[in-house]
Amino acid sequence: MSTWWFTIVMLLFYLPSMQSQTMEQYKFETPDHPLKIPDSLLAENAVILFKKRCFTTKLDWYSISHYSSTGSIISKEDPFGLRQYPVIFQKLKNEEAGETYLSENHQRIKVINQNGIEDFSDYSFRLYPHQEIISFASRIIKTDGNIDLIDTNRIIISENQKDDYCTYNNVVVKFENLEPGDEIELYVKIKGSNLHAFRFSFPDNLNQNFKKPWSFEKPQYNLFFHDKIPVLESEISITEYLFFKNTYLLVNHVPEPMVLKNDTSINCTFQLKNLPGIQNNSYGINSVDLPYIHFNNKDKHKDFAERKWRTDQQNQLENIRMLFMEDFSYANLTGKRLTKKEILKNPLVQNSDKKYGKLQAFHRFINHEMKIVMAGNEEPLPTVNFLKVKEVDPVNLLKIYVHLFETLDVDYDFVIARNRYAGPPAQEDFQLHQFDKYLLRYKTRDGSYAFLFPKNEWNYYEINEIPLGFIGADAIVIPSNWAVPCKFIRINYGDQVRHFENKQMNVSIDMSQGIIHEEIVQTLSGTEFTRNKAEYLFAAESFRNGIHIDLSNFRWFDEKGELTIENFTIDSLSPPYLKINYSCSAKNDIGKLDDSTFSIPVANFISHRTLPTSEYIRVLDYYACDDFARKINSFLIFNQKITFENIEDLKQIFEEEVCFYRLNASQINDTTIYLQSEYGLKSNFVSAKDYDKLRKLNEAYEKSRNLNLIFSTVRAIPAKQY
C-alpha cells in the first residue's frame, strides 16, 4: 500500500498537469485504427510506424528591437539561413534571461509477436535535471480497433537514478495486455531550461552523447533518423529563432528540408522513410554510415578573440585551448605542487632511480592504490591530501600528474581525444565538447612521446597503453607551453607495434591414466594486450593469493573439459606486450572408439577469441580496432607410440581478402602430433557487403573445433591378398 501511495505522490509532484493536459487538452490526430505494414517486415518483432520529433528553441525575456532580412534562399550549405539574417536584440531583464528548449516526441509502434510484446510492454524514458513534462498522452490500439487509453496509474517514476554524469528520473509507461498486432502510441512534450532538453530524444537509441569527462555543460547531439527496429517514417522538425547561434549540420545525405519561416523564426522538417533497424552492428560507427543532423551550440571562451593572422582552424584550436584550461582550473587542487620529499615518501618510488623511474613508479601507485570517485564539492586541497586518503576524482587526478611532471621536470602536453566509435568530430565547426577523453603525453628520455591515459572508475592503463576505442582516434595536442600552437594528431601505437596473440602449448597425454597435462606460454601484443590484460593479471594475482581460478569465468579461455590450474604467472609485462605461463590438467578427455583407436576433441587445443558476428543483416560497415593474428601451436606428446589416423581431415583453410582461418596438422615422430591454428583479420575495415565473410570465418573456425583427432596405438596390418 505504501508503494502505491508513493507512486501517486510522485506522479502528482512530477506530472501536476498530466491528467488535464493528456486526457482533456491533447487529442491524437493520427488514425485510431491499426495500420498495415509491408509483408517483408512481418518477421520482425516490432516495427515503428512513425517516429516524429520536434525541437524548439525559445528565448525568454528578450525582444527584437530591429530586424532586417536579406531575402536569401535556404541552401544545403546553410540550411537554416541563420548567417544571412542579421538581428539586433536587447535584453529586457538581464538577471532573468534564459533559454527554453522544447522537445515533442510522438511514436507509434506495432508489436508483431511475443518478443515484440516483451520488448515494449514496459516503455521507459529519462527526465534529466531542469526538465519537466508539460504534455503527455499514450494509448493502445487493439487489432479490432478498440482503444485503451493509458492513465497515470500505469506510469511509474523512479527518481534519483544515476548515469556517468548526473542523476535523472526514470519514467516507465506500462502497456499491459498487449497482443500480437496491437499498436502502442505515445506523445510526450518536455520543457527544459537549458540544453539538457535535447538529451531527451524519445527513444533515440542510436544517440551517443559524448561529453567532457567531468562536465555536464553544452553536450553534443547527433539526431539520428534510424532506430534499433525498422522505421517506416522518421521525421525531425527543428524550430529556431533567427538570432540564435546554434549550428545544425546535415551529415550523410540528409534530404532537403521543408522550410517554413517568418520574421522571427524558421522551421525545417526533415523526413526519411523505410529505414532498416540497427540492432547490434558490432564495431559499427553510426555517425559515419547513417544520415543524421548534428546540433552544436556555439562554445566560445568569453575572453577569446579571433586573430586575423591565424587560419579559421587555428582560431578554433586556440579557443579550445582556453576552454580546456578554464575547465582544468576548476579542479579542487591548490597551486601547491608535489615536493620531492612527498614523492620520495611513496614506498613504490623510494627505490626508483632517476626521474623516469620515479614517474613510472608513481603511475603504478595511482593505478593500484588510488580509487577514482566522482567530483565532490570539497574545499581546495593540496595534492598530498588526495594521496593520503587514496581517493581522487578525474579532474584532480589529471592535475596530480601535471604536478608530478613539473616536479620531476618532464616535458608534457595535454591531449583531448574523441572515441573512434563516436565518429569523427565535426570538422566544419569542432568544439571542445566533441572530445570525450582527456589524457597526457610526455617526452621520454630518447626524445619520443609516450601517452598516459589516466585511470578511470573501471580500468587502468599502463604507460603507452591505448584503450581500444581510442586507437586511430582523432585528438588535439594542447601544449603546456602557451607559445606552442595546438595541433591535430591521430592516436596510434605506431608501425613498430604488431597486434597478435601467440600461444605455445606443450601437451603431455598419459594414455593409461587418461590425463592431459598442458604447459602454456602465451604472448600478447598491441590491442591483444589491451583487450585481455586485466583478466590475465587478475588470474595471476588470484593464483598467487591461493584463490581458486575457475577458467570458465574468463572469456579468453574456451577449451572443453574440467581443468585444474597448477600454475599461473606473469613472465614479463612491458606495455604493450605481455607474456604469461600457466599449466593445467584435465581428466577423461580421451574417447575410446575400439580397443586400439582413440579420439580427442580438437577443441581441447584450439581456443581463439572470435569477432562478434551475431547480425544476420548488416547495415553499417565494420570497423575493428586493428588487423590482428591469433596463433596457437600445440605439440601433443603421448607416453606411447601412436599413429595419426585422420591427418588430412585436420587440414582446413578458409581465406578471404579481409580475413583468414587455417588449421594444419602433422605427425612429427612416433609419439608427437603437431597442430597449428591461425585466426586473423587482414584489415580493420570490412564493408557491410563483405560482412558475410566474417560470419563464414567464424563458421570455418567452429567447424574445425568440432573435429576430433583420431589416433591408434597399434596400426592394424592388412590381410595378405592372394
Residue 175 buriedness (CB in 10 A; 0-12 / 13-18 / 19+): buried
- Alpha-carbon span 104 to 52, nearest angstrom: 8
Lowest mean pLDDT among 203-212, 460-469, 475-484, 548-557: 203-212
Asked whether the beta carbons of 243 and 64 are under 8 A apart, the reply is yes
Q: What would the pLDDT profile of 285-311 be if each residue is shown by its tens digit?
A: 888 889 988 776 655 555 555 555 556
Alpha-carbon dihedral 281, 437, 417, 684, rounded to 10 degrees: -30
Q: What would the pLDDT profile of 128-155 be if each residue is shown by its tens digit?
A: 777 788 888 889 999 988 998 887 777 7
Q: In which order are the strands placed within the sheet that holds 122-127?
A: 122-127, 167-174, 155-162
Q: What would the pLDDT profile of 637-667 be if each residue is shown by its tens digit?
A: 999 999 999 999 999 999 999 999 999 999 9
Confidence of residue 530 (pLDDT cuts 50, 70, 90): confident
Asked whether the beta carbons of 288 and 621 are under 8 A apart, the reply is yes
Taking residue 346's Cβ as centre, other Cβ atoms within 10 Å add up to 18
Query: Per-residue pLDDT averaged across 63-85, rounded?
Result: 34
**Position 304, amino acid:** F
Residue 183 backbone phi and psi in degrees, to 5: -125, 135
Helix (H) or strand (E) holding 313: helix 312-328
Task: Share the mean pLDDT of the chain.
Answer: 77
Asked whether the beta carbons of 127 and 136 are under 8 A apart, the reply is no
Dig out the grid coordinates for 358 from the structure.
620515479
Q: What is the CA radius of gyration of the chain?
A: 31
Taking residue 561's Cβ as centre, other Cβ atoms within 10 Å add up to 15
Beta strands in 4-81 (DSSP E): 46-60, 62-67
Q: Which of 57, 68, 61 is nearest to 91 (CA)?
A: 61
Helix (H) or strand (E) holding 387: helix 383-389
pTM given for the model: 0.77
Dig out the grid coordinates for 418 from the structure.
574523441
pLDDT score recorded for residue 376: 52
Helix (H) or strand (E) holding 510: strand 500-510
Residue 18 reports pLDDT greater than 90: no
3-state secondary structure labels for all residues of 389-410: HCEECHHHHHHHHHHHHHHHCC
Asked whether the beta carbons of 598 and 710 are under 8 A apart, the reply is yes
Contacts 24+ apart (CB under 8 A), 271-275: 271/233, 271/234, 271/235, 271/236, 272/225, 272/233, 272/234, 273/232, 273/233, 273/234, 274/230, 274/231, 274/232, 275/225, 275/226, 275/227, 275/230, 275/231, 275/234
Q: What would the pLDDT profile of 360-372 be if each residue is shown by its tens digit?
A: 888 988 898 888 8
Beta strands in 326-411 (DSSP E): 371-372, 391-392
Taking residue 658's Cβ as centre, other Cβ atoms within 10 Å add up to 19
Confidence of residue 338 (pLDDT cuts 50, 70, 90): low
Look-up of cell digits 487529442 = 27
Look-up of cell digits 593474428 = 629
Contacts 24+ apart (CB under 8 A), 340-345: 340/407, 342/383, 342/384, 342/387, 343/404, 343/407, 343/408
pLDDT score recorded for residue 431: 73
Q: What would the pLDDT profile of 618-633 be if each residue is shown by its tens digit?
A: 889 999 888 889 999 9
pLDDT score recorded for residue 217: 35
Residue 474 backbone phi and psi in degrees, to 5: -75, 140
Which residues face 500 on adjacent strands?
525, 629
Alpha-carbon dihedral 12, 15, 20, 21, rounded to 10 degrees: 180
Q: What would the pLDDT profile of 550-597 be if each residue is shown by its tens digit?
A: 665 554 454 545 667 888 888 888 888 899 998 888 776 788 899 889
Residue 164 vs residue 411, higher pLDDT: 411
Residue 138 CB contacts under 8 Å (≥ 6 apart), including other chains? 22, 149, 150, 173, 175, 184, 185, 186, 187
Residue 94 reports pLDDT greater than 50: no
Confidence of residue 58 (pLDDT cuts 50, 70, 90): low
Residue 210 reports pLDDT greater than 70: no
- Alpha-carbon span 568 to 32, nearest angstrom: 66
Question: Strand 628-638 vs strand 672-681: parallel, antiparallel, or unpaired?
Answer: antiparallel
pLDDT score recorded for residue 298: 58
Q: Which of 550, 677, 563 is nearest to 610 (CA)?
A: 677
Q: Which of 79, 93, 129 is nearest to 246 (CA)?
A: 79
Lowest mean pLDDT among 498-512, 543-557, 660-674: 543-557
Beta strands in 402-499 (DSSP E): 412-417, 437-443, 449-452, 473-479, 487-491
Residue 620 vs residue 250, higher pLDDT: 620
Contacts 24+ apart (CB under 8 A), 27-30: 28/137, 28/139, 28/185, 28/187, 30/108, 30/185
pLDDT score recorded for residue 597: 93
- Alpha-carbon span 362 to 387, nearest angstrom: 11
Helix (H) or strand (E) holding 696: helix 691-705
DSSP code for 208: -
Helix, strand, coil percent values for the chain (each to nearest 5): 25, 35, 40
Phi/psi region, residue 176 (left: phi>0; alpha: psi -120 to 50; beta: rest), is: beta
143-161 burial, b for 16+ CB within 10 Å, e for fewer? eeeeebebebeebbbeeee
Confidence of residue 213 (pLDDT cuts 50, 70, 90): very low
What three-state secondary structure class fits 668? strand
Residue 511 CB contacts under 8 Å (≥ 6 apart), including other chains? 590, 598, 638, 639, 640, 713
Cα–Cα–Cα angle for 8, 13, 16, nearest 5°? 95
296-306 burial, b for 16+ CB within 10 Å, e for fewer? bbebebeeeee
Highest mean pLDDT pick, 45-59, 350-364, 532-546, 621-635: 621-635
pLDDT score recorded for residue 428: 59
Asked whether the beta carbons of 455 and 372 are under 8 A apart, the reply is yes
DSSP string across 83-110: GG--EEEEES-GGG-EEEEEEEEEEEEE
402-434 burial, b for 16+ CB within 10 Å, e for fewer? bbbbebbebebbbbbbbbbbbbebbeeebbbbb
Q: Which of 468, 480, 490, 476 is nearest to 434 (CA)?
A: 476
pLDDT score recorded for residue 127: 78
pLDDT score recorded for residue 85: 30
- Alpha-carbon span 119 to 112, nearest angstrom: 11
- Alpha-carbon span 135 to 278, nearest angstrom: 30
Dig out the grid coordinates for 229 from the structure.
527496429
pLDDT score recorded for residue 648: 94
Confidence of residue 117 (pLDDT cuts 50, 70, 90): very high
